Structure 1
Amino acid sequence: MQITREQITGLLLAGGRGMRMGGVDKGLQTLHGEPLAAHVLRRLAPQAGALVISANRHPDTYAALGAPFGAAIVADTLPGFPGPLAGLLAGLRASATPYLLSAPCDSPWLPADLAARLAHALNANQADIATATTVDADGNTSLHPVFALLRTGLADDLSEFLDAGERKVRAWYARHRTVEVVFTDERAFYNANSLQELADLEGDRGPG
C-alpha cells in the first residue's frame, strides 16, 4: 500500500552544536535574508502531514519559524548534544504518524520528491529505513544518512541503542532493513558546514 503524505511527519534536525560554524545555532544563520531552517521547512512542509523541529537552543525562535507550518518543537531527552540520533529519537517519540521523514537544518535545497522516492523504496523493499545517496560523475557514492524515512516503531530500539552509549547513525541503521535511494542531483543535498561556505551560497539560488 502506498505511503501517503498524511502518514508522514517531517522532522527538521536543528539540535546540533554547530561546532564547524564556531558554535552558532546553524539553523538560524541566514541565507538570502532568511534563516537556513526556514528554507528547509518550506521544502519539507509539502512532503509531510505534520512537522516537528528538533532544537536544543532558542526554542522560541524555532517556534516562530515553525508556526506557519504548525510545527511542534522538541528537544533531546539525552544531555550533552549527543548527535543526530538523539534528534531522531525525539522526532520518533513526538510523531503521531507511522513514518518520520528527517532532514538537517543546513540543507536549503533538499529534493521536492525526497519523501515520495524514499517512501516508494521503503515500500518496495519492505524496509524499515530508506535513506538518500548520491553518485558523482566519476561514479563515487556519498551517503546522506540524516535524509531518511523511518518507521516510527523503531523508537524503542533507538532508545536502547543510545542508552548503550552508541552514537553512530550508520551503526544503528545497520541493525535494521535499510535501503539506499540514489539521487542524481548532488547540489540538492549540499549543506553549509562553515560560515564561509554559507556566505558563498549568497550568490547561488540553488537547483532549478
Structure 2
Amino acid sequence: MKAASIILSGGKSSRMGTNKALLKINEKTNIERLVEELKRVFSEIILVTNHPDEYRFLGVKMVSDRFPGLGPLAGLHAGLQESTQEVNVAVACDMPFVSGELAEKIAAKLGSFDAAIPVIDGKKQPLFAAYRRCILPVVEASLEKRNLRMTQFFDDLQVLYLTEEDLPGYSKPRLKRTFFNMNYPEEYEKAKNWADGDN
C-alpha cells in the first residue's frame, strides 16, 4: 500500500519498568513483531524513538521527537514530518497483536477525511489510526499550546470515526485483542499467554 506506518516508541515505559518495545513474545521482541506485520502492507515504516541505538537492528527509518517529553502527540508530529506519504497509520509500540490487514482497511477508509479513528467498545483509539500528513500544522499548534491529549485536536479536523460495525469481518474478541496494549507487567503476561494460544 502506498502509505506509511508510524510506530510510536518514544515513551518511558515507567509503568512496565522496562522498555515495552523490547519485551519478547514468542522469541521476538514486540517491536520486531510490529515491524514485520506492518511491512507486509506499508511501503514506508517510520519508527519514532529518542533512543535510536536500541533499534538499529530493525533496519528501518528512525526519527526523534522535535518536541521531546510531550508524549505520543509529539511522536505523531515527528513521524508525519518524516513521512513521504500523505496517508499514514500511527501504531503504538505496546500493541503486540496489531493487524497489518486491519491497518490497511483503516487507511483505505480515510478517503477525503483528515483522520480515521477507530472507536472500539466506545473508546477512541488514536494510537492505531490513520492520519493525513497535511494535518501537521494542527498537530504542531496543539503541541505549542501544550494541548497534549491525542484526541484534543480532533475538533480542528474532519474526522471519520469507525465503530465495530464499520469493520465487518472482525469479531469483537478479535478487535479487543488487536487493540490490546500492555502497560503493566500483568498485561505483558497476558499477551504472552495469548500468543501461546491461551485464552
Which interval holds the TM-score relative to the shorter structure? Answer: 0.7 to 0.9
Provide the rounded CA distance (Å) in 2 between the counterparts of 1:206 and 1:173.
38
Task: Tell me the amino acid that sits aligned with residue 71 of structure 2.
Answer: G
Shift of 1:37: 0.9
Equivalent position of 2:189 in the other structure? 199
1:116 positional shift:
2.9
Q: One-letter code of the match for 1:64?
A: F
Deviation at 1:164, TM superposition (A): 1.3
Q: Which one of the candidate residues 134, 153, 157 is aligned to 1:176? A: 157
Q: Return the match for 1:62 from 55, 64, 83.
A: 55
Deviations 1:152-196 (A, max 9, x none): 011122112101111011111221011122244211111111122
SS at match of 2:40: helix
Q: What is the aligned partner in structure 1 of residue 103 from structure 2?
A: 115
Shift in alpha-carbon separation, 1:206–1:152, aligned structure 2, 3 A = farther
What secondary structure does 2:136 align onto? helix
Q: Count residues in correspondence.
A: 188
Select 1:49's aligned residue among 22, 27, 43.
Answer: 43
| Percent of aligned positions that are identical | 24
Which structure 2 segments of 5+ residues have no match? 165-171
> Which of 49, 56, 61 is matched with 1:72 structurally?
61
1:104-148 CA distance string (max 9 Å, x none): 11111112322332233221xx3100012223xxxxx22211111
Give the aligned partner of residue 84 of structure 2: 96
Q: Which amino acid aligns with 2:15?
A: R
Structure 1 stretches of at least 4 aligned residues deviating more than 4 Å after TM superposition: none
Distance across 2 between alignment mates of 1:130 and 1:172: 13
1:45 Cα offset (Å): 1.4
Name the CA distance, whole Å, in 1 between partners of 2:107 and 2:189: 34
2:152 alignment partner AA? A
Tell me which amino acid in the other structure corresponds to 2:101. D
What per-residue deviation string (whole Å, max 9, x for no partner) do you get for residues 4-34 of structure 1? x12x111111001112112x22211222222
> 1:203 and 1:146 mapped to 2: Cα distance?
23
CA RMSD of aligned residues (A): 1.7
One-letter amino acid matched to 1:195: P
- Checking the alignment, whether the CA contact within 8 Å between 2:8 and 2:91 is kept in structure 1 is yes
Output the CA distance in 1 between the equivalents of 2:188 and 2:37.
Answer: 18
Using the alignment, how far apart are the partners of 1:206 and 1:42 within structure 2?
18
Output the amino acid matched with 2:141: E
Structure 1 residue matching 2:125: 3-state secondary structure = strand
- C-alpha displacement at 1:206, in angstroms? 7.4
TM, length-normalised to structure 1: 0.84
Q: Which residue does the alignment assign to 1:138? A: none
C-alpha separation between the residues in 2 aligned to 1:165 and 1:200? 34
TM-score by length of 2: 0.87
Question: What SS is found at the alignment partner of 2:15?
Answer: helix
Report if aligned partners of 2:87, 2:107 keep a CA contact under 8 Å in 1.
no
> Structure 1: any 5+ residue segments left out of the alignment?
136-140
